[in-house]
Amino acid sequence: MFKFFILKNKALARMLILTLIFIEGTPIFAGEIEWRTDYMQARQEAVQKKLPILIDFYTDNCFWCKQMDHRTFRDPTLNQSMTENWIPLKINARKEPALTEALKIRSFPTLVFAGPEGNILGFLEGFIEAPALVAQLEQHKGDSITPDWMNQDYKEATVAIASDDFPKAVSLLKKIMEDGKQRPIQKRAMVLLQDFEKQATERIAKAKKNLEQGNTSESIQLFREVSRQYEGTNGAKESSQILASLANRQTNAEPLLISNNLAKEVLSLIKQDCKNANYLSCLDRYDYMTATFAEAMETQEAGIIIAEIKSNPEWMKAACDQMGDKLANLYLSLADSWTKKGQPQQAIYYLEKTIQTFPGTKYAESAQVRLAQLLGPSIRAVELKNSK
């Protein structure tokens, strides 16, 4: 009888504890997840261990926050994934208003996925079941890791900048930015690209001013320098367009002079492209030359280079591969444009087209990630207002 009374009282005690938890709003840090509660210490640990952070923003009186603790965070598979691959951090939004406001957290629970260096990978508002959260963790974990090739390309880009090889640097930095993520290394790459654009824009402004003042030769020289030194930037593209426009002007002897200068410039670019194995660019530039100044001696000289490229099957294969890269990038950019316009179905079409057309490539992988983001779980607590 006494033993039964003790067991019965233990059961009642458990029920009483659970009741008090719901009344008082004290969160249960469930299962084997070792939740951190100090943001700065969690950041330091993430940097040291090179692991991403999962931040759970909750409040004491939030019904769905408690459901996350009692249901989602008790799942063994989820616990293992978080323990091995993440730094779990719980933040009471009412006690940490500055951090909550800084991340613009408006509803609870909200999960924030962040990289080891603090870069935000994504947000998830509302309750989510364990299997869906495991999938989200896997996806964002991949986003948090900087591939070795990215680090290598960034290193090569900095070396190219130091040696004033800006076209190579621009090409490498653009490649780093292709998948559209927000890794720290990509943010640094974007800063460098923006600096190149700024330099090109400043030189273009100076060239335009010289042109307005009648210093045509100096303007042409500046435009040519921008086209050559900042190849791959919007500024280089604008300079080439201005030079082409100048070449078409029919004023005195200027058109002939400009055309000759431009032909020499394009020939120089073709030679440089051929040296760098950019064979598709060689073919494109030659098409421009034959359309713009077919009779120029420079065009004939360029024709010899193009004939050599076309007679080499390996070089032509490289040109075809470069055309594929160009098309894949266009598909991905088009998908991004449709997404920004709020038409995800159009974006999905071109992402699927990229996967089908370029299977097994980095472009297909990037398209698959973006497709998962568009089609993946977007679970929100629809009863949130009623639970507050």
In a domain, 290, yes or no: no
Co-location of 217 and 154 in the same domain = yes
Look up residue 265 and give its two tokens: 């410039």
Co-location of 140 and 152 in the same domain = no
In a domain, 254, yes or no: no
Domain finish residue from 214, 247, 280: 247
Co-location of 152 and 198 in the same domain = yes
| pLDDT at res. 9 | 52
**pLDDT, averaged across the chain:** 82
In a domain, 277, yes or no: no
Question: Residue 206's domain is classified under what CATH number?
Answer: 1.25.40
pTM over 0.85: no
Domain finish residue from 109, 125, 145: 145
Comparing CA positions, the residue from 244, 339, 326 lying closest to residue 279 is: 326
Co-location of 156 and 28 in the same domain = no
Q: How far apart are CA 125 and CA 110, in angstroms?
A: 4
- Choose the weakest-confidence range: 28-42, 57-71, 90-104, 189-203: 28-42
Domain finish residue from 212, 247, 282: 247
Whether residue 309 contacts residue 283, with contact meaning beta carbons closer than 8 Å, is answered with: yes
Co-location of 14 and 68 in the same domain = yes
In a domain, 125, yes or no: yes
Co-location of 120 and 185 in the same domain = no
Q: Is the pLDDT of residue 7 over 60?
A: no
Domain count, the chain: 3
- Choose the weakest-confidence range: 8-17, 127-136, 174-183, 285-294: 8-17
Co-location of 44 and 134 in the same domain = yes
Domain with 354, as residue range(s), is 324-368
Neighbours of 35 (CB within 10 A): 19
Question: Residue 139's domain is classified under what CATH number?
Answer: 3.40.30.10
Co-location of 132 and 35 in the same domain = yes
Q: How far apart are CA 359 and CA 349, in angstroms?
A: 15
Bridge partners (DSSP) of residue 88 are: 54
Q: Provide the 3-class DSSP secondary structure of residue 39.
A: helix
Whether residue 109 contacts residue 133, with contact meaning beta carbons closer than 8 Å, is answered with: no
pLDDT band at 111 (very low <50, low <70, confident <90, very high): very high
Q: Is the pLDDT of residue 62 over 90?
A: yes
Co-location of 96 and 107 in the same domain = yes
In a domain, 193, yes or no: yes
Q: Is the pLDDT of residue 175 over 50?
A: yes
Co-location of 334 and 345 in the same domain = yes
In a domain, 279, yes or no: no
In a domain, 305, yes or no: no
Co-location of 356 and 335 in the same domain = yes
In a domain, 308, yes or no: no
Co-location of 41 and 15 in the same domain = yes
Query: What pLDDT digit, counting tens, does each position of 356-385 carry?
Result: 988 888 888 888 888 887 775 433 333 333
Query: What pLDDT digit, counting tens, does each position of 299-351 carry?
Result: 889 999 999 999 999 999 999 988 888 888 888 888 888 888 888 888 888 88
